[in-house]
Amino acid sequence: MSQAPLERYDFAASERVKRPLRQQLDIWSEKASEIFIQQWQTVSESEIKVSAKTIDAHSFVDIQESWENPCSGAEIGFRQNSVRGQLIIENQQLRVLLMDILKGDDTEDGHRDLTPIESSLASLIFELIAVSFSEGWQEQEPLEFDLKEFDSAPERNRLFAADKKVLICGLEIELNGRSAVMHLLVACNEMAALFGIDPMATPERKTGQRISPNMISKINIKLDAELGFARLDMTDLVGLSAGDIIILEQSVREPVAVRVNGEVLFHAWPGKQLNQQVLKIDSMVE
């Protein structure tokens, strides 16, 4: 098989957060992930997987503009509010957690505002996240925090100036075949001060330093599953409407092709697991 070109790694993005601060955040977030699993067991019997979200930093206005869907949030302060930040999560992802606690089935695919009952229960989830970061702190004593009231419109919050450089970390939660990301936003200079790090310091680089296998393992590679294709006359195409059926040139007795960077890597059978579509690998392409 011909070698497909590797997806370019955004080194500029990684440099938006200096290495000393990034390393401390990695340790803190990983520990908070472990504690959140324990916290979740106090409200639900479901098994979950929790991992640290990729760390990045942007101006606050750029972050706000990226919130295309309704979100929920809560302000949080550390060490007597000397360091202040926001916890943010999309409502659709928050409902994944809420429905697990309520033992319900959220069949809505669209984004919407939360109901009063959901908003009340959401405060509990924010509390569990805050406790996880508090107890995951690197020092012996938990990090003191102050969690504010639930905010149904965090995009209107004026905690940070528009051009303020804000750090984004958090926890990614996998539950019942679906995922939810709780973001923690804190000003970069305040977060650095929390760890006792000079935000302007540049780490000394060692010559011949090898790339950590752990860093490589976190690089995301996009997979595309090709269900099939069809050829239609233009007159047929413009006449299509909802409910019409298009026959694909793909036999149901043959697995579909899965591509990496445009090259077919393997063939797989489509299927379903819980509420997610899945692929079962049938064969690799040599």
Contacts of 277 (CB under 8 A, 6+ apart): 270, 271
Quick count: other Cβ atoms within 10 Å of Cβ 193?
15
* Residue showing tokens 């450089």: 165
Which of 24, 71, 56, 54 lies closest to 165 in space, CA to CA?
Answer: 56
In a domain, 217, yes or no: no
- Is pTM beyond 0.75? Reply is no
Report whether pLDDT(2) > 60: no
Phi-psi map region of 261: left, alpha, beta (phi>0 left; psi -120 to 50 alpha): left
pLDDT value of residue 125? 94
- Number of residues assigned to the chain: 286
* Residue 153 within any structural domain of the chain: yes
Find the domain containing 143 and state its range. Answer: 11-200
pLDDT tens digits, 151-193: 988 888 889 999 999 999 999 999 988 899 999 999 999 999 8
Predicted confidence at residue 37, as pLDDT, reads: 94
**DSSP label at 235?**
H
- β 165-175/178-187 pair status: antiparallel
Mean pLDDT (the chain, rounded): 83
**pLDDT above 70 (res 46):** yes
140: which DSSP letter?
S
Same-domain check for residues 167 and 111: yes
Q: Is residue 162 part of a domain?
A: yes
The count of structural domains within the chain is: 2
Q: For residue 9, what pLDDT is reported?
A: 46
Same-domain check for residues 79 and 194:
yes
> What's CA 202's distance to the chain center, in Å?
28
Let me know whether 196 and 267 are in one domain: no
On the question of pLDDT at 13 being above 70, the answer is no
Do 30 and 167 sit in the same domain of this protein?
yes
The pLDDT tens digits for 229-286 are 788 888 888 888 888 888 888 888 888 888 876 778 888 888 887 777 888 888 888 7
Give helix 116-135 / helix 19-40 axis angle, nearest 10°: 120
pLDDT, tens digit (0-9, with 9 covering 90-100), for 65-119: 888 788 999 999 999 888 999 999 999 899 999 989 988 776 555 567 788 888 8
Is residue 129 predicted with pLDDT exceeding 90?
Answer: yes
Share in percent of the chain as helix, strand, coil (round to 5): 30, 30, 45
Q: Tokens standing for 138?
A: 């690197």
Q: What is the pLDDT of residue 202?
A: 56
Q: Are residues 149 and 270 in the same domain?
A: no
